[in-house]
Amino acid sequence: MRWRQGRRSSNVEDRRGESGGGGMGGLGNLLALAPLLLRSKKGWLILAALAAFYLFFGDSQLFRGGAPQPASVDSGQAGQAGAGGDEVADFVSVVLADTEDTWGQLFQAAGSEYIPPRLVLYSDAVRSACGLNSAAVGPFYCPTDSKVYLDLSFLNDLKQLGAPGDFAFAYVIAHEVGHHVQNQMGISQKVQQARAQSDKITANRLSVMLELQADCFAGVWAFYAHRDRQMLEPGDLEEGLAAAAAVGDDRLQQRSGRAVSPDAFTHGSAEQRAYWFTRGFKSGDVNQCNTFAALGGRGR
Ligand SMILES: [Zn+2]
């Protein structure tokens, strides 16, 4: 990816080195939360779900890298990462700025104003308006505080998932920004309401539609980054597609040794994720990202 000449964003919040939850890591955070959660029946359920989550993912190699290593964004080239992987932080800032420019223009063209999200860089664990999260959950967007949360070690995780490269990471950032766009468009809220009134399987399917739309929005960003700023190099699109597929629910289920169960999908299959990213990338058109209409019945 040709990114070094790009603009840097002023919306990056660097909280690396701060301890999100007392420095105990994911399980420690869970234990710290336990007394609070045990006060209510709902809390018990949340605690049980969290415990199950950590049992499945806590110490697996799925989302977290192995030994800490300085990350460099260019998988194929010699990394010039400064201490703490600041080249990667610089890269993230450029990608975020580019999403700001893209969505700023698209919102303006639609007669509205894009209010960009803040992006929080963190390590190990972070406190957001959505609660206390360990890096094991991977990058996420919190609609309540309109911030994207990113642990840079996820770049290594992508490599382990078979999706190396700078553009793979850019896709992940653009996907999270896609959730912010959904939030600002009022889509997230509608889906949240519909999910609350649905059975589990329907709720999962609504989640898949929301996630695939975020993939499509990431593709829309890539369209403009490529057409207007020539940021993509040969091989980049393939890196993005590989990343989209690598985080498909079927692949993740297989990697964790579970049977592939489409009803349990919350993000979409590898094929679906690559399809919707491509659809956004080829068209550059937000209207091509109506996953809700396309997937409202059964099908793709
Ligand atoms: Zn997502």
Say how far apart CA 124 and CA 146 lie, in whole Å: 20
Compute the distance from residue 227 Cα to the ligand 1 centre, in Å: 25
Instruction: Check: CB of residue 28 under 8 Å from CB of residue 22.
Output: yes
DSSP run (H or E) holding 133: strand 131-134
**What is the pLDDT tens value at each position of the chain, 300 positions in all?**
999 999 999 999 999 988 664 444 445 555 556 666 666 666 666 666 655 655 544 433 333 333 333 445 544 333 333 445 599 999 999 999 999 999 999 999 999 999 999 999 999 899 999 999 888 888 999 999 999 999 998 998 999 999 999 999 999 999 999 999 999 999 999 999 999 999 999 999 999 999 999 999 999 999 999 999 999 999 999 999 999 999 999 988 888 888 899 999 999 999 999 999 999 999 999 999 999 999 885 444
Paired sense of beta strands 140-142 and 147-151, if any: antiparallel
pLDDT at residue number 252: 87
Compute the distance from residue 273 Cα to the ligand 1 centre, in Å: 11
pLDDT at residue number 298: 46
Q: Which residue has the tokens 């997937």?
A: 295
Compute the distance from residue 139 Cα to the ligand 1 centre, in Å: 8
Summarize pLDDT for 66-86 with one digit per residue, the tens. Answer: 333 344 554 433 333 344 559
Q: Which residue has the tokens 């490599």?
A: 159
pLDDT at residue number 137: 82
Compute the distance from residue 198 Cα to the ligand 1 centre, in Å: 20
Tokens matching residue 159: 């490599």
Residues with CB under 5 A from ligand 1 (ion): 211, 214
Compute the distance from residue 179 Cα to the ligand 1 centre, in Å: 7
Compute the distance from residue 78 Cα to the ligand 1 centre, in Å: 31
DSSP run (H or E) holding 134: strand 131-134
pLDDT at residue number 17: 85
pLDDT at residue number 68: 37
Instruction: Check: CB of residue 286 under 8 Å from CB of residue 106.
Output: yes
Say how far apart CA 147 and CA 13 lie, in whole Å: 10
DSSP run (H or E) holding 20: none
Compute the distance from residue 141 Cα to the ligand 1 centre, in Å: 8
Q: Which residue has the tokens 């990394």?
A: 79
Instruction: Check: CB of residue 242 under 8 Å from CB of residue 183.
Output: no
Torsion, Cα of 265, 269, 274, 276 (10° steps): -50
Terminus-to-terminus CA distance in the chain, angstroms? 31
Summarize pLDDT for 133-187 with one digit per residue, the tens. Answer: 888 888 999 999 999 999 998 998 999 999 999 999 999 999 999 999 999 999 9
